Protein backbone atom coordinates (compact mmCIF):
# COMPACT_ATOMS: atom_id res chain seq x y z
CA UNK A 1 0.00 0.00 0.00
CA UNK A 2 1.19 3.50 -0.83
CA UNK A 3 1.02 6.43 1.60
CA UNK A 4 -2.03 7.69 -0.33
CA UNK A 5 -3.76 4.33 0.05
CA UNK A 6 -2.94 4.28 3.77
CA UNK A 7 -4.37 7.81 4.14
CA UNK A 8 -7.61 6.76 2.45
CA UNK A 9 -7.74 3.68 4.69
CA UNK A 10 -7.22 5.92 7.74
CA UNK A 11 -10.13 8.16 6.69
CA UNK A 12 -12.36 5.11 6.21
CA UNK A 13 -11.49 4.01 9.75
CA UNK A 14 -12.58 7.44 11.00
CA UNK A 15 -15.98 6.92 9.34
CA UNK A 16 -16.27 3.45 10.88
CA UNK A 17 -15.32 4.87 14.28
CA UNK A 18 -17.83 7.72 14.05
CA UNK A 19 -20.73 5.49 13.01
CA UNK A 20 -19.99 3.04 15.83
CA UNK A 21 -19.38 5.45 18.73
CA UNK A 22 -21.15 8.81 18.28
CA UNK A 23 -23.96 7.87 20.66
CA UNK A 24 -21.44 6.66 23.24
CA UNK A 25 -19.68 10.03 23.02
CA UNK A 26 -23.05 11.71 23.75
CA UNK A 27 -23.74 9.42 26.73
CA UNK A 28 -20.33 10.42 28.11
CA UNK A 29 -21.32 14.10 27.93
CA UNK A 30 -19.40 14.91 24.74
CA UNK A 31 -20.66 16.14 21.36
CA UNK A 32 -21.43 13.66 18.58
CA UNK A 33 -19.19 15.55 16.11
CA UNK A 34 -16.18 14.95 18.35
CA UNK A 35 -16.27 11.30 17.29
CA UNK A 36 -15.67 12.33 13.68
CA UNK A 37 -12.51 14.48 13.90
CA UNK A 38 -9.36 12.39 13.20
CA UNK A 39 -6.83 12.21 16.08
CA UNK A 40 -8.93 14.61 18.17
CA UNK A 41 -11.56 11.86 18.50
CA UNK A 42 -8.87 9.56 19.91
CA UNK A 43 -7.83 12.16 22.49
CA UNK A 44 -11.46 12.58 23.56
CA UNK A 45 -11.90 8.81 23.70
CA UNK A 46 -8.94 8.53 26.10
CA UNK A 47 -10.75 11.00 28.38
CA UNK A 48 -13.95 8.95 28.13
CA UNK A 49 -12.27 5.67 29.04
CA UNK A 50 -10.17 7.48 31.67
CA UNK A 51 -6.82 6.56 30.15
CA UNK A 52 -3.78 8.83 29.58
CA UNK A 53 -3.65 10.86 26.37
CA UNK A 54 -0.26 9.41 25.42
CA UNK A 55 -2.05 6.16 24.58
CA UNK A 56 -3.03 7.94 21.35
CA UNK A 57 0.63 7.82 20.27
CA UNK A 58 0.67 4.04 20.78
CA UNK A 59 -2.27 3.73 18.38
CA UNK A 60 -0.07 5.03 15.53
CA UNK A 61 3.02 2.91 16.18
CA UNK A 62 3.02 -0.13 13.84
CA UNK A 63 2.87 -3.52 15.61
CA UNK A 64 2.30 -1.78 18.97
CA UNK A 65 -1.09 -0.62 17.70
CA UNK A 66 -2.08 -4.26 17.18
CA UNK A 67 -1.83 -4.65 20.97
CA UNK A 68 -3.19 -1.33 22.24
CA UNK A 69 -6.23 -0.98 19.96
CA UNK A 70 -7.94 -4.19 21.21
CA UNK A 71 -7.27 -2.94 24.76
CA UNK A 72 -9.04 0.33 23.87
CA UNK A 73 -12.02 -1.61 22.46
CA UNK A 74 -12.36 -3.48 25.76
CA UNK A 75 -11.94 -0.30 27.81
CA UNK A 76 -14.63 1.42 25.72
CA UNK A 77 -17.38 -1.13 26.39
CA UNK A 78 -16.37 -1.40 30.06
CA UNK A 79 -16.84 2.35 30.40
CA UNK A 80 -20.52 1.62 29.75
CA UNK A 81 -20.87 -1.31 32.16
CA UNK A 82 -20.06 -4.16 29.78
CA UNK A 83 -17.63 -6.10 31.96
CA UNK A 84 -18.44 -9.76 31.28
CA UNK A 85 -15.82 -12.11 29.89
CA UNK A 86 -18.16 -13.04 27.03
CA UNK A 87 -18.48 -9.43 25.92
CA UNK A 88 -14.72 -8.89 26.23
CA UNK A 89 -14.15 -11.86 23.92
CA UNK A 90 -16.91 -10.66 21.58
CA UNK A 91 -15.44 -7.18 21.06
CA UNK A 92 -12.01 -8.67 20.28
CA UNK A 93 -13.26 -11.42 17.95
CA UNK A 94 -15.42 -8.94 16.01
CA UNK A 95 -12.45 -6.56 15.63
CA UNK A 96 -14.25 -3.93 17.67
CA UNK A 97 -17.53 -4.09 15.76
CA UNK A 98 -19.34 -5.29 18.91
CA UNK A 99 -19.14 -1.62 19.95
CA UNK A 100 -21.82 -0.96 17.30
CA UNK A 101 -24.20 -3.13 19.32
CA UNK A 102 -23.38 -1.23 22.52
CA UNK A 103 -23.77 2.07 20.66
CA UNK A 104 -27.18 1.40 19.02
CA UNK A 105 -28.87 -1.46 20.92
CA UNK A 106 -28.18 -0.54 24.56
CA UNK A 107 -28.81 2.44 26.77
CA UNK A 108 -26.32 1.77 29.55
CA UNK A 109 -25.21 4.91 31.34
CA UNK A 110 -21.63 6.09 31.16
CA UNK A 111 -19.61 5.25 34.30
CA UNK A 112 -17.90 8.50 35.22
CA UNK A 113 -15.36 7.39 37.80
CA UNK A 114 -14.83 3.82 36.66
CA UNK A 115 -12.41 1.81 38.77
CA UNK A 116 -9.48 1.01 36.52
CA UNK A 117 -7.97 -1.60 38.78
CA UNK A 118 -8.32 -5.14 37.37
CA UNK A 119 -11.01 -7.11 39.21
CA UNK A 120 -8.90 -10.25 39.52
CA UNK A 121 -5.29 -11.24 40.02
CA UNK A 122 -5.31 -12.79 36.53
CA UNK A 123 -6.54 -9.50 35.08
CA UNK A 124 -3.73 -7.65 36.83
CA UNK A 125 -1.18 -10.06 35.42
CA UNK A 126 -2.58 -9.71 31.89
CA UNK A 127 -2.50 -5.92 32.15
CA UNK A 128 1.11 -5.95 33.35
CA UNK A 129 2.20 -8.38 30.63
CA UNK A 130 0.50 -6.36 27.88
CA UNK A 131 2.30 -3.16 28.76
CA UNK A 132 5.58 -4.97 29.28
CA UNK A 133 5.20 -6.35 25.75
CA UNK A 134 4.35 -2.89 24.42
CA UNK A 135 7.43 -1.34 26.05
CA UNK A 136 9.68 -4.17 24.87
CA UNK A 137 8.28 -3.95 21.33
CA UNK A 138 9.03 -0.22 21.14
CA UNK A 139 12.60 -0.76 22.37
CA UNK A 140 13.10 -3.76 20.07
CA UNK A 141 11.71 -2.00 16.98
CA UNK A 142 13.08 1.53 17.31
CA UNK A 143 16.04 1.49 19.70
CA UNK A 144 17.93 -1.71 20.45
CA UNK A 145 17.57 -5.32 19.26
CA UNK A 146 19.36 -8.40 20.58
CA UNK A 147 21.24 -10.40 17.95
CA UNK A 148 23.32 -13.58 18.01
CA UNK A 149 26.30 -14.29 15.75
CA UNK A 150 25.33 -17.60 14.13
CA UNK A 151 28.15 -18.13 11.60
CA UNK A 152 31.90 -17.61 11.41
CA UNK A 153 31.93 -15.07 8.55
CA UNK A 154 33.31 -12.34 10.86
CA UNK A 155 35.66 -14.50 12.93
CA UNK A 156 37.92 -13.42 14.67
CA UNK A 157 36.34 -9.99 14.86
CA UNK A 158 32.94 -11.20 16.04
CA UNK A 159 32.76 -14.78 17.24
CA UNK A 160 30.15 -17.48 16.88
CA UNK A 161 28.26 -17.32 20.15
CA UNK A 162 28.59 -13.56 20.66
CA UNK A 163 25.32 -12.04 21.87
CA UNK A 164 25.02 -8.45 20.67
CA UNK A 165 22.87 -5.41 21.14
CA UNK A 166 22.20 -3.86 17.73
CA UNK A 167 21.41 -0.14 17.70
CA UNK A 168 18.48 0.86 15.48
CA UNK A 169 18.89 4.58 16.13
CA UNK A 170 22.49 5.08 14.93
CA UNK A 171 21.50 4.89 11.26
CA UNK A 172 17.85 5.71 11.96
CA UNK A 173 15.22 3.10 12.82
CA UNK A 174 13.00 1.80 10.04
CA UNK A 175 9.27 1.99 10.56
CA UNK A 176 8.13 -1.66 10.24
CA UNK A 177 7.04 -2.31 6.68
CA UNK A 178 5.05 -5.37 7.69
CA UNK A 179 1.89 -3.95 9.26
CA UNK A 180 0.58 -7.17 10.83
CA UNK A 181 3.15 -9.28 12.68
CA UNK A 182 3.74 -11.07 15.97
CA UNK A 183 5.67 -8.68 18.26
CA UNK A 184 9.39 -9.09 19.04
CA UNK A 185 10.02 -12.07 16.76
CA UNK A 186 11.43 -12.09 13.26
CA UNK A 187 9.98 -14.30 10.54
CA UNK A 188 8.92 -17.33 12.60
CA UNK A 189 6.98 -17.76 15.84
CA UNK A 190 9.22 -19.70 18.27
CA UNK A 191 8.26 -23.33 19.07
CA UNK A 192 5.31 -23.23 16.65
CA UNK A 193 7.54 -22.86 13.59
CA UNK A 194 4.92 -20.92 11.61
CA UNK A 195 5.20 -17.60 9.78
CA UNK A 196 4.97 -14.68 12.20
CA UNK A 197 3.46 -12.10 9.85
CA UNK A 198 1.03 -11.38 7.02
CA UNK A 199 2.56 -10.32 3.70
CA UNK A 200 -0.11 -7.66 3.24
CA UNK A 201 -0.76 -4.88 3.94
CA UNK A 202 2.69 -3.33 3.66
CA UNK A 203 3.73 0.12 4.92
CA UNK A 204 5.90 2.13 2.46
CA UNK A 205 9.59 2.31 3.37
CA UNK A 206 10.27 5.04 5.92
CA UNK A 207 13.39 5.51 8.05
CA UNK A 208 13.50 7.83 11.05
CA UNK A 209 16.43 10.28 11.22
CA UNK A 210 19.65 8.80 12.63
CA UNK A 211 22.66 10.61 14.02
CA UNK A 212 25.26 9.03 11.75
CA UNK A 213 25.58 7.45 8.32
CA UNK A 214 27.17 4.11 7.54
CA UNK A 215 30.92 4.59 7.41
CA UNK A 216 33.46 2.44 5.63
CA UNK A 217 34.45 -0.59 7.76
CA UNK A 218 31.35 -0.35 9.96
CA UNK A 219 29.93 -3.72 10.93
CA UNK A 220 26.30 -3.68 9.81
CA UNK A 221 23.26 -5.87 10.46
CA UNK A 222 21.00 -6.05 7.42
CA UNK A 223 18.26 -8.09 5.80
CA UNK A 224 19.71 -10.61 3.36
CA UNK A 225 18.65 -9.15 -0.01
CA UNK A 226 18.21 -12.45 -1.87
CA UNK A 227 16.56 -14.36 0.96
CA UNK A 228 15.40 -17.63 -0.58
CA UNK A 229 14.43 -19.51 2.57
CA UNK A 230 12.50 -22.39 1.03
CA UNK A 231 9.59 -22.14 3.42
CA UNK A 232 8.64 -18.69 2.21
CA UNK A 233 9.91 -18.94 -1.37
CA UNK A 234 7.75 -17.75 -4.26
CA UNK A 235 7.88 -20.68 -6.69
CA UNK A 236 7.50 -18.37 -9.69
CA UNK A 237 11.24 -17.71 -9.27
CA UNK A 238 10.90 -14.00 -9.89
CA UNK A 239 10.18 -12.50 -6.50
CA UNK A 240 10.30 -13.66 -2.90
CA UNK A 241 7.36 -13.80 -0.57
CA UNK A 242 9.23 -12.40 2.41
CA UNK A 243 8.86 -8.63 2.93
CA UNK A 244 12.10 -6.65 3.27
CA UNK A 245 11.95 -6.37 7.07
CA UNK A 246 11.23 -10.11 7.44
CA UNK A 247 14.15 -11.32 5.35
CA UNK A 248 16.85 -13.16 7.30
CA UNK A 249 19.22 -11.00 9.36
CA UNK A 250 22.87 -11.07 8.34
CA UNK A 251 25.91 -9.24 9.72
CA UNK A 252 28.97 -8.22 7.66
CA UNK A 253 31.49 -5.39 7.29
CA UNK A 254 30.68 -2.48 4.96
CA UNK A 255 33.78 -2.33 2.76
CA UNK A 256 32.23 -0.67 -0.33
CA UNK A 257 30.33 2.61 -0.07
CA UNK A 258 27.94 4.23 -2.57
CA UNK A 259 29.92 5.61 -5.52
CA UNK A 260 33.01 3.44 -4.92
CA UNK A 261 34.86 1.36 -7.49
CA UNK A 262 35.65 -1.95 -5.75
CA UNK A 263 37.87 -4.86 -6.66
CA UNK A 264 39.41 -7.83 -4.86
CA UNK A 265 43.07 -8.58 -5.61
CA UNK A 266 44.66 -11.72 -4.14
CA UNK A 267 41.89 -11.76 -1.53
CA UNK A 268 42.43 -8.15 -0.44
CA UNK A 269 39.75 -5.50 -1.03
CA UNK A 270 40.76 -2.46 -3.08
CA UNK A 271 38.68 0.74 -3.11
CA UNK A 272 39.20 3.18 -5.97
CA UNK A 273 42.53 1.49 -6.75
CA UNK A 274 43.93 1.45 -3.18
CA UNK A 275 44.01 -1.47 -0.75
CA UNK A 276 41.43 -1.11 2.00
CA UNK A 277 42.84 -0.43 5.46
CA UNK A 278 40.92 -2.27 8.16
CA UNK A 279 40.53 -0.98 11.74
CA UNK A 280 42.58 -2.31 14.65
CA UNK A 281 39.92 -4.73 15.84
CA UNK A 282 39.39 -6.31 12.43
CA UNK A 283 41.12 -9.67 12.25
CA UNK A 284 40.81 -10.98 8.69
CA UNK A 285 41.32 -14.70 8.12
CA UNK A 286 42.42 -16.58 5.01
CA UNK A 287 42.81 -20.21 3.97
CA UNK A 288 46.20 -21.95 4.06
CA UNK A 289 47.63 -25.14 2.57
CA UNK A 290 50.80 -26.99 3.49
CA UNK A 291 52.45 -30.24 4.41
CA UNK A 292 53.26 -31.81 7.75
CA UNK A 293 56.41 -33.71 8.70
CA UNK A 294 54.42 -36.92 8.81
CA UNK A 295 51.81 -36.58 11.55
CA UNK A 296 48.28 -35.12 11.54
CA UNK A 297 47.33 -32.29 13.90
CA UNK A 298 45.09 -32.65 16.92
CA UNK A 299 42.00 -30.45 16.32
CA UNK A 300 41.65 -29.54 20.00
CA UNK A 301 45.29 -28.48 20.12
CA UNK A 302 44.79 -26.34 17.03
CA UNK A 303 41.87 -24.65 18.76
CA UNK A 304 43.60 -24.13 22.10
CA UNK A 305 47.02 -23.04 20.81
CA UNK A 306 46.19 -21.27 17.55
CA UNK A 307 42.48 -20.40 17.87
CA UNK A 308 41.60 -22.39 14.73
CA UNK A 309 37.83 -22.80 14.92
CA UNK A 310 36.77 -23.51 11.32
CA UNK A 311 38.55 -26.84 11.27
CA UNK A 312 41.12 -28.38 8.94
CA UNK A 313 41.50 -31.36 6.61
CA UNK A 314 44.43 -33.76 6.28
CA UNK A 315 45.49 -36.18 3.54
CA UNK A 316 47.64 -38.99 5.01
CA UNK A 317 48.75 -40.12 1.52
CA UNK A 318 50.91 -37.04 0.96
CA UNK A 319 50.81 -35.38 4.43
CA UNK A 320 49.03 -32.37 2.90
CA UNK A 321 46.73 -30.25 5.07
CA UNK A 322 44.22 -27.49 4.45
CA UNK A 323 43.22 -24.94 7.08
CA UNK A 324 39.99 -23.15 6.25
CA UNK A 325 40.58 -19.97 8.25
CA UNK A 326 43.66 -18.57 9.94
CA UNK A 327 44.34 -15.01 11.10
CA UNK A 328 47.68 -13.29 10.42
CA UNK A 329 48.55 -13.42 14.11
CA UNK A 330 47.82 -17.15 14.36
CA UNK A 331 49.71 -17.84 11.12
CA UNK A 332 52.89 -16.22 12.47
CA UNK A 333 52.78 -18.64 15.40
CA UNK A 334 51.52 -21.71 13.55
CA UNK A 335 54.18 -21.63 10.81
CA UNK A 336 56.74 -22.42 13.52
CA UNK A 337 54.87 -25.53 14.68
CA UNK A 338 57.38 -28.40 14.85
CA UNK A 339 55.13 -30.56 12.64
CA UNK A 340 54.81 -27.99 9.83
CA UNK A 341 57.09 -28.71 6.86
CA UNK A 342 55.64 -25.97 4.66
CA UNK A 343 52.65 -23.63 4.61
CA UNK A 344 51.35 -20.90 2.31
CA UNK A 345 48.17 -18.91 1.86
CA UNK A 346 45.70 -20.38 -0.61
CA UNK A 347 44.74 -17.83 -3.30
CA UNK A 348 42.69 -18.46 -6.44
CA UNK A 349 44.67 -17.43 -9.51
CA UNK A 350 43.80 -14.61 -11.90
CA UNK A 351 41.58 -15.92 -14.69
CA UNK A 352 40.09 -18.81 -12.72
CA UNK A 353 36.33 -18.61 -13.26
CA UNK A 354 33.87 -19.15 -10.42
CA UNK A 355 30.35 -18.90 -11.92
CA UNK A 356 28.91 -18.55 -8.42
CA UNK A 357 30.25 -15.04 -7.85
CA UNK A 358 28.28 -11.88 -8.59
CA UNK A 359 26.74 -11.09 -11.08
CA UNK A 360 26.30 -14.88 -11.37
CA UNK A 361 26.15 -15.00 -15.19
CA UNK A 362 29.36 -16.99 -15.67
CA UNK A 363 30.73 -14.55 -18.25
CA UNK A 364 33.63 -13.16 -16.22
CA UNK A 365 36.85 -14.87 -15.12
CA UNK A 366 36.27 -13.79 -11.52
CA UNK A 367 36.51 -15.67 -8.25
CA UNK A 368 36.46 -14.84 -4.51
CA UNK A 369 40.12 -13.77 -4.54
CA UNK A 370 40.25 -12.01 -7.93
CA UNK A 371 37.14 -9.92 -8.50
CA UNK A 372 36.01 -6.73 -10.22
CA UNK A 373 36.33 -3.82 -10.51
CA UNK A 374 32.65 -3.00 -10.11
CA UNK A 375 30.74 0.21 -9.37
CA UNK A 376 28.74 0.52 -6.11
CA UNK A 377 25.48 2.32 -7.01
CA UNK A 378 24.78 5.70 -5.42
CA UNK A 379 21.41 7.44 -5.11
CA UNK A 380 20.82 9.94 -7.90
CA UNK A 381 23.68 8.70 -10.10
CA UNK A 382 22.86 7.69 -13.67
CA UNK A 383 24.67 4.76 -15.33
CA UNK A 384 24.65 3.39 -18.88
CA UNK A 385 22.53 0.28 -19.35
CA UNK A 386 23.84 -2.10 -22.00
CA UNK A 387 23.57 -5.87 -22.47
CA UNK A 388 27.02 -6.07 -20.86
CA UNK A 389 26.18 -3.95 -17.78
CA UNK A 390 22.61 -5.21 -17.33
CA UNK A 391 23.54 -8.26 -15.16
CA UNK A 392 25.01 -5.92 -12.52
CA UNK A 393 21.84 -3.83 -12.21
CA UNK A 394 19.05 -6.26 -13.14
CA UNK A 395 18.22 -7.16 -9.52
CA UNK A 396 18.27 -3.48 -8.55
CA UNK A 397 15.90 -2.37 -11.29
CA UNK A 398 13.53 -5.34 -11.18
CA UNK A 399 13.43 -6.11 -7.46
CA UNK A 400 15.08 -3.60 -5.11
CA UNK A 401 13.67 -0.56 -6.92
CA UNK A 402 10.83 -2.39 -8.61
CA UNK A 403 8.91 -5.14 -6.88
CA UNK A 404 9.84 -4.03 -3.35
CA UNK A 405 8.69 -0.49 -4.14
CA UNK A 406 5.43 -1.56 -5.77
CA UNK A 407 6.50 -1.35 -9.42
CA UNK A 408 6.36 -4.34 -11.77
CA UNK A 409 9.67 -3.84 -13.60
CA UNK A 410 10.93 -6.37 -16.14
CA UNK A 411 14.32 -6.08 -17.88
CA UNK A 412 14.99 -7.94 -21.11
CA UNK A 413 17.40 -7.85 -24.05
CA UNK A 414 16.43 -7.61 -27.71
CA UNK A 415 19.58 -7.97 -29.77
CA UNK A 416 21.83 -5.12 -28.63
CA UNK A 417 19.00 -3.17 -26.98
CA UNK A 418 17.96 -3.40 -23.31
CA UNK A 419 14.21 -3.13 -22.69
CA UNK A 420 12.51 -1.99 -19.47
CA UNK A 421 8.89 -3.13 -19.46
CA UNK A 422 9.11 -3.46 -23.23
CA UNK A 423 10.54 0.02 -23.84
CA UNK A 424 14.17 0.63 -24.89
CA UNK A 425 16.45 2.21 -22.25
CA UNK A 426 20.12 3.16 -22.38
CA UNK A 427 20.53 4.57 -18.85
CA UNK A 428 19.13 4.28 -15.35
CA UNK A 429 19.18 6.58 -12.28
CA UNK A 430 19.40 4.88 -8.89
CA UNK A 431 16.69 5.68 -6.33
CA UNK A 432 18.67 4.70 -3.22
CA UNK A 433 22.19 3.98 -2.00
CA UNK A 434 23.80 0.55 -2.08
CA UNK A 435 26.62 -1.04 -0.08
CA UNK A 436 29.10 -3.87 -0.53
CA UNK A 437 29.34 -6.03 2.59
CA UNK A 438 31.88 -8.79 3.23
CA UNK A 439 32.99 -11.04 6.05
CA UNK A 440 36.42 -10.79 7.61
CA UNK A 441 36.70 -14.57 7.25
CA UNK A 442 37.46 -14.07 3.58
CA UNK A 443 37.53 -17.70 2.41
CA UNK A 444 34.59 -18.84 4.52
CA UNK A 445 31.97 -16.12 4.08
CA UNK A 446 28.93 -15.93 1.85
CA UNK A 447 28.72 -12.21 1.21
CA UNK A 448 28.33 -9.57 -1.51
CA UNK A 449 30.77 -11.47 -3.71
CA UNK A 450 28.00 -14.06 -4.04
CA UNK A 451 24.76 -12.04 -4.03
CA UNK A 452 25.83 -8.50 -4.81
CA UNK A 453 24.70 -5.13 -3.52
CA UNK A 454 22.84 -4.44 -0.26
CA UNK A 455 20.14 -1.75 -0.67
CA UNK A 456 19.92 0.97 1.96
CA UNK A 457 16.34 0.01 2.79
CA UNK A 458 17.66 -3.41 3.90
CA UNK A 459 19.92 -1.93 6.60
CA UNK A 460 18.74 -2.94 10.10
CA UNK A 461 21.27 -1.36 12.45
CA UNK A 462 24.73 -1.19 13.97
CA UNK A 463 26.12 -3.72 16.48
CA UNK A 464 27.42 -1.74 19.44
CA UNK A 465 27.79 -4.01 22.46
CA UNK A 466 28.55 -7.65 23.32
CA UNK A 467 26.65 -8.51 26.49
CA UNK A 468 27.44 -12.25 26.49
CA UNK A 469 29.76 -14.58 24.60
CA UNK A 470 29.39 -18.35 24.62
CA UNK A 471 32.21 -20.61 23.42
CA UNK A 472 30.97 -23.96 22.06
CA UNK A 473 34.44 -25.04 20.90
CA UNK A 474 35.76 -25.46 24.43
CA UNK A 475 37.09 -28.90 25.23
CA UNK A 476 34.47 -31.09 26.88
CA UNK A 477 31.91 -28.37 27.65
CA UNK A 478 30.69 -24.93 26.65
CA UNK A 479 32.01 -21.96 28.56
CA UNK A 480 31.56 -18.21 28.84
CA UNK A 481 34.21 -16.01 27.23
CA UNK A 482 34.49 -13.64 30.18
CA UNK A 483 36.97 -11.35 28.41
CA UNK A 484 34.31 -10.54 25.77
CA UNK A 485 31.36 -9.99 28.11
CA UNK A 486 30.32 -6.30 28.26
CA UNK A 487 32.70 -5.18 25.52
CA UNK A 488 32.06 -2.69 22.72
CA UNK A 489 32.11 -3.76 19.08
CA UNK A 490 33.86 -0.67 17.75
CA UNK A 491 36.97 0.97 19.16
CA UNK A 492 40.75 1.06 19.05
CA UNK A 493 42.97 -1.71 20.34
CA UNK A 494 41.81 -4.89 22.03
CA UNK A 495 38.29 -4.79 23.53
CA UNK A 496 38.20 -4.34 27.31
CA UNK A 497 35.38 -5.86 29.36
CA UNK A 498 33.29 -3.34 31.29
CA UNK A 499 31.77 -6.11 33.43
CA UNK A 500 33.81 -5.32 36.59
CA UNK A 501 32.71 -1.67 36.47
CA UNK A 502 29.10 -2.73 35.93
CA UNK A 503 29.24 -5.08 38.94
CA UNK A 504 30.75 -2.33 41.10
CA UNK A 505 27.91 0.02 40.15
CA UNK A 506 25.33 -2.70 40.92
CA UNK A 507 26.88 -3.35 44.36
CA UNK A 508 26.98 0.39 45.15
CA UNK A 509 23.35 0.85 44.04
CA UNK A 510 21.92 -2.03 46.09
CA UNK A 511 24.13 -1.13 49.04
CA UNK A 512 22.76 2.42 48.94
CA UNK A 513 19.20 1.09 48.70
CA UNK A 514 19.80 -1.20 51.69
CA UNK A 515 21.27 1.47 53.96
CA UNK A 516 18.61 3.98 52.88
CA UNK A 517 15.89 1.54 53.90
CA UNK A 518 17.60 0.83 57.25
CA UNK A 519 17.87 4.56 57.93
CA UNK A 520 14.18 5.12 57.13
CA UNK A 521 13.15 2.26 59.43
CA UNK A 522 15.29 3.56 62.31
Catalytic residue, from 153, 196, 287, 330: name it: 153
Active site residue 252: yes
Per-residue pLDDT, 477: 56
Residue 455 is predicted with a pLDDT of 96
Return d(Cα 100, Cα 19) in angstroms, integer.
Answer: 8
Measured CA to CA, the distance from residue 488 to residue 92 in angstroms comes to 45
Whether 68 is covered by a domain: the verdict is yes
pLDDT at 228: 67
Q: Specify the pLDDT at position 83.
A: 85
Residue 169 lies in a domain: no
The residue among 492 and 313 whose pLDDT is bigger is 313
- Name the pTM for this structure: 0.88
At residue 415, the pLDDT reads 83
Expressed as residue numbers, the domain containing 81 is 3-116
Any catalytic annotation for residue 472?
no
pLDDT of residue 218: 94
- Does residue 507 form part of some domain? no
Whether 452 shows a pLDDT value over 90: the answer reads yes
Q: Looking at the domain assignment, is residue 184 inside a domain? A: no
Asked, as a colleague might, if the bond just before 288 is cis with ω within 30 of 0, I would say no
Beta bridge partners of 397: none
Q: Which of 37-46, 253-262, 483-492 has the lowest mean pLDDT?
A: 483-492
Is residue 373 included in any domain, yes or no?
A: no
Q: Which pLDDT value is given to residue 231?
A: 46
Q: What is the rounded CA–CA span in Å between residue 477 and residue 300?
A: 12
pLDDT tens per residue, range 439-449: 999 999 999 99
pLDDT in tens, 304-361: 889 888 888 999 999 999 999 999 999 999 999 999 999 999 999 998 999 889 998 8
371 domain residue, yes or no: no
CA distance 514 to 502: 18
350: which residues sit within 8 A by CB, 6+ positions away?
Answer: 365, 370
Determine the average pLDDT of the residues in 176-202.
Answer: 87
Q: Which of 156, 242, 252, 462 is catalytic?
A: 252
Say how many domains are in the chain: 1
Percentage above 70 pLDDT, the chain? 95
Residue 132 falls inside a structural domain: no
> Residue 304's pLDDT is what?
86
Q: Which residues pair with 409 in a beta bridge?
A: none
What integer best gives the mean pLDDT of the chain? Answer: 89
28 in any annotated domain: yes
Whole-angstrom distance, CA of residue 325 vs CA of residue 283: 11
**Residue 6: burial class (beta carbons within 10 Å; 0-12, 13-18, 19+):** middle
Q: What is the dihedral of CA 224, 425, 257, 171, to 10 degrees?
A: -60
pLDDT value at 162 more than 50 = yes
> What integer is the mean pLDDT of 43-47?
94
Give the DSSP H or E segment for 130: helix 121-142
pLDDT for residue 478 is more than 50: yes
Amino acid sequence: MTFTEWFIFFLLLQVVHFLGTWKLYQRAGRKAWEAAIPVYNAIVLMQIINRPKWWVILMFIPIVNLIIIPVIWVETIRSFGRNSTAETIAVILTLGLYIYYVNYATSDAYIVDRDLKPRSEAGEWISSILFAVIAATIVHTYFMQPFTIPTSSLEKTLLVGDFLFVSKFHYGARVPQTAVAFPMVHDTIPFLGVKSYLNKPQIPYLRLPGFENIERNDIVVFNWPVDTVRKFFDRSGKHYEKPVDKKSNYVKRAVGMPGDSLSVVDGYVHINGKQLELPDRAKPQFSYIGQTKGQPFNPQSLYKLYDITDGYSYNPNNNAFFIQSLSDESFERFKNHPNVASIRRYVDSVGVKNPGVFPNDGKRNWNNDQFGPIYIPKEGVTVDITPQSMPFYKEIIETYEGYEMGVDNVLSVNGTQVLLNGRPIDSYTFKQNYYWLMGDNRNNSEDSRVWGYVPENHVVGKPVFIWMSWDSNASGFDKIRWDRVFTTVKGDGEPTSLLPYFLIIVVIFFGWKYFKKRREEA
